[in-house]
Structure 1
Amino acid sequence: MFLRTEATAQHVYEIDAAVPEVNIYSHHLKLGGSSAAGSSITVNNYYISVDGKPMVPVTGEFHFTRYPRMYWEESIEKMKAGGINVIATYVFWNLHEEKEGVFAWEGDKDLRYFMELCKKHNIYAIVRVGPFCHGEIRSGGLPDWLLGSPLNIRSDDSLYLSYVERLYNQIGMQLQGLYYKNDGPVIGIQIENEYQHSAAPWGLTYPGQPMDMTAAERDLSVTQEGVGISDVKNSHAGSGNGHMKKLKLLAIKAGMDVPLYTATGWGNAAIIPNESLPVTAAYAYPFWTPKRDYSPFFLYKNMHRKPDYAPVRYHPEDYPAFAAELGSGIMSVYTRRPIAVHQSMDAMINRCLGSGANGIGYYMYHGGSTPRGERSFMSDEAYGLPKISYDFQAPIGEYGQVREGFHRLKLLHFFLRDFGHKLAPMTTALPANAANLRPDNITDLRYAVRIKENSGFLFLNNFQDDTAMQHQKQIQVRIKTHTGEVRIPETGGFDLPEGENAIFPFGMEMEGGIPLNYATAQLLAQCGDAALPRYVFFTPEGVKAEFSFAGNVKVSGLYGSTAVRTAKRTLVNCTDTVSVFTVATGGRKVEVLVVTKQLALKAYTVTLQQKRYLFFSDAVILQGPAGFRLLNNSNPVFDLAVYPRINTVPQVTNGSIAVTKSITPFAAYRIALPYWSFPVHARKVSEKKRVVQLPDSLPAQVNDVLLKVDYTGDTGMGFVNGELVADEFYKGLPWETGLRKFVAAGAREMVLYFRPMQPNATYLLDLQPYPQYIPAFGNAKSYLTVNGITLVPQYATRIKF
C-alpha cells in the first residue's frame, strides 16, 4: 500500500509481516551426514544446518580444468576472500576421457589435487559429476566417441550406463578419502544436469545444420536450448526421475557418499524425490534468447512456494529454496553478446534472499580458459562460443581479475556468514501489490520482509536490467508485526537511488541483549571478541544511517554521530563518512562501526591473533596458511586500514610499510613496492595483425601482467608460437589477457589477429544501450581500429603482523 503525506513529503509504504511462520519439517528427506570428527550437516524443508546451526551456503562455480594448476591455490584464496564457502566444479567427461578408455587426471586435470587444496583452505566443495554437464563445453561434456557407439545417451541403455559407471569409478578414486565423512571438503555431488530440460548440441555437426541435441531420443520433444520455463507435458517424467536414481546409486557404489546430492530442478527438470536437493537458477542476461528483455529476477516473490522458471517437477515447499546457479555474468556467443552489468549482481542476491532463498550460488564466479583437446577445440563451437575464452564476465575473470561484482557480492556474503543463522529460519512477507508488479514497472518501490517472531530484515531493490528505475525519495516503510508496528525510519524518510539496493535490520537483539529497534544501515560483519563484540554496518548510496535502540541503553564514545534519548528509545544519527559509538545495557556493551558503501567495498574480513578483524584496502587481500598476501593493480603504492585498531607495525616481503595518520577507529599503513615498467613493443604487421613483445620474466613484486587491448572490431585472437591461446568477442570493453602463464612457459611474443565488425552484425542489438561502443560506419562495409595496447602490472607483497 502506498500513500503520500504532504506535510513531511514522505512516501509511506506498508507491509503486513504478521504472517504465520513457515512449517519446518525434515522427516521426508534422505539427506545429511556426519564427519569423522563429529560435525554434522542436516537438511530440512527450509534450510541447511551445520552442527545444528542454520546457515546459508554461498557457492561459487570454478572449473579447475579451465585454469592453470599452478594458480589454483591463489584462486581458492580469492574466492574465500570474497566470502565464498562452497566451491562447485564440473568434471567434464570429454576432458578426462577424450579417447575411449584412456583417462587423464594429471596437470590441469588433477581433480584430487584441487580437492586437497580445498581441504587445505577449509572450504567445502560440490562436485558436479555429470555424465552430462553442459558448461558450454563441447557436446556438454559428452565425449565424441559416444556418438559413434551403439547406444542411446542419457538413458537407461545398459551400455551407456556401463560407460557412466566406469567414469564414476574413476571420479570416485580421485575423491577417495576427501569426502565430508572423512573430514574432507566434498559435501555434495550433483547428478547429471538439467535432465529432461536442456541439452547442448553435439560438437560433430555441419555449418548451417539444425542443432542435434545431446538428449535421449525420447526426451527431444521436451528439450530446449538454455535455461527457461518449460510447460511441455513430459510423459517420461517418471522414467527420468528413475534414471536419476540409478545414477545416484552408481555414484554411491563408486564411493561418492556425501550429505548432499543436488539436482538442477528448474523448468520441469528431473530430480530424485526426497533424495536430492533441487536447486534453482536465474539468468538476467541470457545469450540463448533472441533479444534483450526485462527479466523477472529483480522482483520479490516467495521462492519457497514458486521457484524461478516454474513449473517444477517437485513440491517446492518440501525443499529449501537454493538459488545455486545465479548468472553472475554471462558468456558471449558470436551472434549474441549480452553485457552483464555488475550492479545487477548484488541486486539479484538481495532479491533472492528477500524472496526466501536459503542458499545462493553463482555460475560462474570465476572464469577461465577452455583447454584444447588432442583432436578438437573443446568449447561449444556449435553454439558459436569463443574457442578459448570462458571469462563469463564473472566476478573473478578468466585470468583472475577481481572485478566490481566481486566487491559488491562480498558485502552480502560477509553478512550471510555472520548473520545467516538469523535469516535462514525467517519467513517471507510481501506487500499487497507484489503479485501485480511487472519488470517494466520502474516507478513502484520493490520491497519485502523476512521475519521470525518480531525480528527481521527489510529488503529493498531499485535495480532492473535493461532499463533505469525511478529514484525513490523520502521513503518510510511501516512493518506490521504480531506485537505492533515498526516504522523505518521513525520520522522523515530515506532515499534509494536508481540501481541501489539495501537490507535493514529491525527487532534485532544484539550481543548482550541490546535491543535494536531498526537501523537504516546494512549489516556487513561482526568482529572483535567476547569482551567487546563489534558490529560493522555500511550505508547504501544516498542513505543516512539512523539507529533506534529500545529501552534503557547507554550510548557513549560517539564519533561522527549524535544521540538523542527519550523514555522509550535512544536514536543515534551518523553524521560522518565513518562513525563509531558504544551501546551498553545490563553491564554488557557492543561497539558499532558505520562506514560508507564506498569504503565497505574495500573491506575484507580476516583472522588475526585469533580474533576477527576487518582490513580496508584498494588491494585484494588474501589470507592463507602462510599469512596475508596483497595484490594491487597498476599502482605500487597503496593503503591498508585495520579495524579494530592495533598497535603493531607489520612487515612486508617486498617494498616498505609505514604508519600513516588515520581517523579514530583504524590503524593505518601505507605500502610502497618497487615500481616496475616494461615498455610496450607492438609491431604492426597489417591492419589486422600486431605482434606484442612479452617480458622475459616477472620480478618478485609483480604477480601478473595484464595485456590490455583497446580496439573496436568483431573478434580478437591471440597466438603464441602459432597456437591459438586466447580469444575475445568484442563488447566495447578492453580485451584483457593475463600474461604470467605464457611468460612462465617461455613465450617471448604474442601475435594478435583482429577481424573487422560488419554493420549488420546481429550482436549490435546487445550494444544498443551503449552507443559509444558502436562505430560510425558511414559508407564503409566493415570497421576495425586498434586504439592502444598497454601492459598493466599487478603488484604483490606478503604482510606479517
Structure 2
Amino acid sequence: MTVYVTDFTIFFFGNKPKLFALMLIQLLFVHSSFAQVREFKLDISKVQPIAPNELTELSGSDPSGNKLSANSYYISKNLVPFIPVTAEFHFSRYPEQYWDESIKKIKAGGVNTIATYIFWNIHEEKEAVFDWTGNRNLRKFIKLCAENSMMVMIRIGPFDHGEIRNGGLPDWLLSKPLTVRDNDPEYLHYVELLYNQIAGQLRGLYFKDGGPIIGTQIENEYQHSASPWGLTYPGQPYDFTVADRDRSSAKEGVSVASADNPYANLGDNHMKVLKALAQKAGITTPFYTATGWGYAAIIENETLPVTAAYAYPTWTTKNELSPFYLFTELHKKPDYSPVRYDPLRYPAFSAELGSGIMSTYSRRPIVPAESVDALINRTLGSGANGIGYYMFHGGSTPIANQYFFNDEAYGYPKISYDFQAPIGEYGQINPSFNRLKLLHFFINDFGDVLAKQITVLPKNAAGINPESTDLRYAARTDGKSGFLFINNFQDHFKTPDQTNLRITIEADKETISIPQSGSFSLKSGENIIMPFNLDINGNRLVYSTAQLLTKSDKSDRPFYIFFYPEGTNAELSFANKDTRIRNLKNASVLQYSERQIIKCSPGSVAEFTISSSGKKETNVLVIPKKLALKAQQVLISGIKHLVFSDALLLNDNEGFQLLSTGNATGKLEVYPKITRTPTTDVGTIKKISGNTSFTGFAFGLPAVKLSPDFKTVGQRKLFVNLPTKLPAGLNDVFLTINYTGDTGMSFLNGELVADDFYKGVPWQIGLKRFISPGHPQMAFYFRPIFKDAPYLMDLPDAVNKQVSNEKPLLKINSVSFIPEYKTNLKF
C-alpha cells in the first residue's frame, strides 16, 4: 500500500480499506500527539574528517604482502580500517580435545580475534621443567585458531593476573635472590628463559610467517595491579607480586589510580626491557599492547594502550553504579583515567570489557545478559575502535601437583573459571552470546565505516550521572553520515522506559529528524544503534529506527538486514530522488515530497526491495530482535546466508555441526531462500511452510531419555550415577543441580574435579569430559549459607529471606540431565 502525504491532505491508492483505516488512525495519532513528543538534538555540523597520525612502530606484513598498520584512530589491513572483536579464551583452562569446537563457537559469535594468556606457572611449575603437552599445548591451540581463520593476540606475561595463583608467577621465584617485576638481572634471566620457551612453541605462526598471531601483550597492569602470593596464611595481609618500590601503589583489581607514581619512568623502562627480550627471542608481531588503565605503564609509540570496563567488580566492598553506561569521549578520556599516555595519539581500544565476572567467596554478583550488549553500545558510541571481552569463554583451572592454580588467597573457586562468560565453563551458549553477536555482525560489516567516525555528544552529556533518568545518546559521524547510539540500561539501577522520543541531527547542509514525524520508544534495559545517511548500493537511507545487523553486497541479490527491539516501531526513510521501492511484505510506504518512509508492521518480519537507476535491486529485511537473537551467519555455496534457529550451527569443513541443547526437534529458517533441502547424518530434516521470506526446515533427531539416578546421604552429600559412555547422538550431557547453599564441590574417584559458589542460579556441569567406564559416580559435598555470610548482598531477595537466624540454609531442590544433541548438516 502507498499513501501520499502533504502537509494537511492524505491521498490513498489501493483496495485494502481495513489497512487504510489503520494507517489513517496511525497518521491522525501522529499529528494529535505531536505536542507530547520529547525533542532531543545533536549538532554534527562542525565535525571534520579525521586526520590520523601513523604509528610507524606498529605495523607488519605477511608473505603475501598483506599489511597490518595502526594510526591514532584505528588499525587497518591493507589500509582498510577494521575493528578487532577479541574474545579472551584460556587454552590451558579447557580440555585440548574440545578446543576446535570452542574456537568454532567463538567464531559463530562474530568474533574475529582470540586473546589468550600464557601462564608461566602452569608451564613451568617446577623450575627448568617446562610442560607444553596436553591442555598446555600452546602450539596446537594456535594452529587450530589458524585453521579456523581466527587472528590471535598472545599475552605472554611474565605477570598475567588472570585470577590465577601469584598472577602466573611460579612459586619457586620466592626462593630466588631477586625482585620480581623489576629490572633485576636475576629476574630478567628467568623471564628470558620463559620468552625463549614461548618463542620456540610459536615459531612459524606469526603474521610475518603467514600465521594468525598479530599481537603481543607485554606484562599486565604493570604499576597498577597485582595478585597476592599464593603462599599465605589465614588472616595474614596480602603480600603482593610487585617490585618493592611499587608496593604502596599496587591495586586490587581494575580501578582508578593517582598520577603521581614517583617510579613511573622506571616502570616504562621495564616495559621496554621486556619488549626487547621478547623480540630477541623471536616474538615479533605487528602490534604490541599494554594494559594502560589506571596509570599503568606503557611504551610510548611502541605499544597500543588498551583499556577496560567492569560494571560488576568483586574487588569492591559494595555495589556501586558504574559510569560505563554513560556516553563519553574515550579517545580523549579513557575509562579508569588518569592514564600515563596522551590518548589522542592512540586509538581507543577497550580490550577487557566485563562480559561476566569471577565470583569470590565474599562477592558473587550476577552479570545480566542485557548489561553486556548495552556496554558495547555505549563503548562503541563513545569512540572505541577495538572491542575485547574478558572472558568470552569460561573454563576450568587445572590442579597443580602441590596446590590449586586458581588464586586461593583471593578466595576464588579452586577450579571453576566460568566467569559468567557468553560461552560458559563447559561450552554452554549463554544469553549474552546471542545478544553480543548482533553487534559483532554489525562491526564486521560496517567497521570500516564506523572506525573513521568520531563521537559527538549532546550538550547535557556531562551532567548525566548513573542514576539519571535522562536519555543517554551519542553519535559516531563524519559530519554527514553516521550512527546514532542510544542506551537505556544502567547497572544496579532500573532505568525507565524512554517514550515519545525524537532526535534531531543538525548537519552542515541538512537537518535529520528521527523520526520525521511522530516518535519512537526504547524500553528499559534495551539499547539500539540507528544509522543515518547510509548509502545502500546507491540508495540513501536517511535514517532508520531499526538497527543494522548485517549485509551482503556480493551475492546476485544483495541484502541488508535490520532488527528492532520490542516496543520500538521500525521505520526506514529513503531519499525520494532515485529510490524505487517494490515487493513490500508487512510494511507500507508514506510518500513525502523528498522522502519515502517505510513503516514496518510491529512484531512482524518485513521485507521489500529497493533500487536506484541503473543498479540492481537490494533486498531489505527488517525483523524483531527476538528473531535476530537466533540469527547465525553461514556460507551456503560460498554465499552468505542467515539461519534463524534455537540450535547452534558451527561451520565444519563443507558442512555444519548442529548442536541443540535440550531439544531433539527444532527448525531452521534460511535467508535468502534456497531451493535445496540439506541432508543430515542423524535423524531427519524436511522442508516446511512458514514465513514467506524464508525457507523453513524442521529437523528431528533420535530422542535420548536421561533420568538421573542419584541419592542423598545426610543433608550435605549427593551421589549421582553417570552413564558409562556418552549416549549416541549427543555432543554432551549437562548435569544441572538446582540448589540453595554456600558452595558445592564435585568429586570423581575421590579427586575434586569441579566446584561452585552459589549465586542464585543452578549449577551446571558438562559431563562429556568426565564420562568413562572408570567414573561411574560423581560425588557432591555442599555447605550451607549462614546468616552472616559476606556475599548475601549479591543474592536474590528471596534467598536472603530464607536465611534463618536459627539454622543455616541448604536445599537440594532438583537434579536433572539436559542432553545436547548433535548432527552434521550439508546444504
Query: Shorter-normalised TM-score: what interval?
Result: over 0.9
1:430 CA displacement: 0.1
Is the 2:649–2:657 contact (alpha carbons within 8 Å) kept by the matching residues of 1? Answer: yes
SS in 2 for 1:87: strand
2:550 paired with 1:541: no
Question: In the alignment, what sits opposite 1:789?
Answer: 815
Question: In the alignment, what sits opposite 1:766?
Answer: 794
1:7 CA displacement: 3.8
TM-score by length of 2: 0.95
Q: Match for 2:557 among 500, 518, 532? A: 532
Cα displacement string for residues 716-750 of structure 1 (whole angstroms, at most 9, x for unaligned residues):
00000000000000011000111000014741110
Q: Match for 1:162 among 182, 185, 189? A: 189
Is the 1:17–1:430 contact (alpha carbons within 8 Å) kept by the matching residues of 2? Answer: no
Is the 1:56–1:360 contact (alpha carbons within 8 Å) kept by the matching residues of 2? Answer: yes
Deviates more, 1:166-175 or 1:774-783: 774-783
Q: Match for 1:435 among 462, 466, 477? A: 462
Cα distance change of structure 1 residues 28 and 534 upon mapping to structure 2, 3 Å threshold: closer
Give RMSD over aligned pairs.
1.3
2:34 paired with 1:13: no
1:587 CA displacement: 2.3
Is the 1:222–1:232 contact (alpha carbons within 8 Å) kept by the matching residues of 2? Answer: no
Q: Match for 2:221 among 178, 194, 203? A: 194
Identity %: 51
> Structure 1, unaligned stretches of length 5 or more?
none
Deviates more, 1:72-81 or 1:22-31: 22-31
Question: In the alignment, what sits opposite 1:685?
Answer: 713
Cα distance in structure 2, aligned partners of 1:607 and 1:40: 26
Question: In the alignment, what sits opposite 2:4?
Answer: none
2:596 paired with 1:570: yes
Cα distance in structure 2, aligned partners of 1:420 and 1:773: 44
Is the 1:298–1:348 contact (alpha carbons within 8 Å) kept by the matching residues of 2? Answer: yes
2:549 paired with 1:521: no
Is the 1:552–1:569 contact (alpha carbons within 8 Å) kept by the matching residues of 2? Answer: no
Cα distance in structure 2, aligned partners of 1:699 and 1:289: 45
Cα distance change of structure 1 residues 745 and 123 upon mapping to structure 2, 3 Å threshold: farther
Amino acid at match of 1:524: L
Cα distance in structure 2, aligned partners of 1:528 and 1:608: 15
Question: In the alignment, what sits opposite 2:157?
Answer: 130
Cα distance in structure 2, aligned partners of 1:159 and 1:284: 39
Cα displacement string for residues 206-225 of structure 1 (whole angstroms, at most 9, x for unaligned residues):
11100000011111111110
Question: In the alignment, what sits opposite 2:86?
Answer: 59
1:774 CA displacement: 2.7
2:511 paired with 1:485: yes
1:545 CA displacement: 0.8
1:232 CA displacement: 4.9
Cα displacement string for residues 537-582 of structure 1 (whole angstroms, at most 9, x for unaligned residues):
0012211111111022110010111112233111111115101000
Cα distance in structure 1, aligned partners of 2:802 and 2:128: 54
Cα distance in structure 2, aligned partners of 1:7 and 1:83: 41
Question: In the alignment, what sits opposite 2:204?
Answer: 177
1:355 CA displacement: 0.2
Is the 1:13–1:475 contact (alpha carbons within 8 Å) kept by the matching residues of 2? Answer: yes
Cα displacement string for residues 578-604 of structure 1 (whole angstroms, at most 9, x for unaligned residues):
010001111222110011000000001
TM-score by length of 1: 0.98
Cα distance in structure 2, aligned partners of 1:205 and 1:745: 39
SS in 1 for 2:92: helix
> Structure 2, unaligned stretches of length 5 or more?
1-30
Deviates more, 1:287-296 or 1:528-537: 528-537
Cα distance in structure 1, aligned partners of 2:638 and 2:646: 24
Is the 2:539–2:578 contact (alpha carbons within 8 Å) kept by the matching residues of 1? Answer: no
Equivalences for residues 442-521 of structure 1 within 5 A: 443-511=469-537, 513-521=538-546
Cα displacement string for residues 327-372 of structure 1 (whole angstroms, at most 9, x for unaligned residues):
0000110011111111100000000000000000000000000000
Cα displacement string for residues 134-161 of structure 1 (whole angstroms, at most 9, x for unaligned residues):
0000000000000111100000000100
2:669 paired with 1:632: no
Cα displacement string for residues 388-446 of structure 1 (whole angstroms, at most 9, x for unaligned residues):
000000000000010000000000000000011110000110000101111111x2000
2:651 paired with 1:623: yes
Cα distance change of structure 1 residues 528 and 612 upon mapping to structure 2, 3 Å threshold: farther
Q: Match for 2:704 among 676, 681, 705? A: 676
Is the 1:532–1:590 contact (alpha carbons within 8 Å) kept by the matching residues of 2? Answer: yes
Q: Match for 2:739 among 711, 731, 734? A: 711
Q: How many residues align?
A: 794
SS in 2 for 1:613: strand
Amino acid at match of 1:547: L
Question: In the alignment, what sits opposite 1:663?
Answer: 691
2:762 paired with 1:737: no
Deviates more, 1:526-535 or 1:698-707: 526-535
Cα distance change of structure 1 residues 785 and 775 upon mapping to structure 2, 3 Å threshold: farther
2:619 paired with 1:591: yes
Question: In the alignment, what sits opposite 2:583?
Answer: 557
Q: Match for 1:102 among 119, 123, 129? A: 129
Cα distance in structure 1, aligned partners of 2:270 and 2:295: 15
Amino acid at match of 2:743: T
2:119 paired with 1:92: yes
SS in 1 for 2:101: helix
Cα distance in structure 2, aligned partners of 1:542 and 1:177: 52
SS in 2 for 1:253: helix
Question: In the alignment, what sits opposite 1:696?
Answer: 724
1:536 CA displacement: 0.5
Deviates more, 1:540-549 or 1:140-149: 540-549
Cα distance in structure 1, aligned partners of 2:501 and 2:564: 15
Question: In the alignment, what sits opposite 1:404?
Answer: 431
1:627 CA displacement: 1.9
SS in 2 for 1:381: coil
Cα distance in structure 2, aligned partners of 1:737 and 1:104: 27
Question: In the alignment, what sits opposite 2:349?
Answer: 322
1:778 CA displacement: 3.6
1:699 CA displacement: 2.6
Cα distance in structure 2, aligned partners of 1:575 and 1:342: 27
Cα distance in structure 2, aligned partners of 1:561 and 1:208: 67
Is the 2:49–2:479 contact (alpha carbons within 8 Å) kept by the matching residues of 1? Answer: no
Cα distance change of structure 1 residues 412 and 422 upon mapping to structure 2, 3 Å threshold: same
Is the 1:282–1:297 contact (alpha carbons within 8 Å) kept by the matching residues of 2? Answer: yes
Deviates more, 1:676-685 or 1:346-355: 676-685
1:777 CA displacement: 3.2
Question: In the alignment, what sits opposite 2:412?
Answer: 385
Cα displacement string for residues 58-116 of structure 1 (whole angstroms, at most 9, x for unaligned residues):
00000000000000000000000001100000000000000000000000000000000
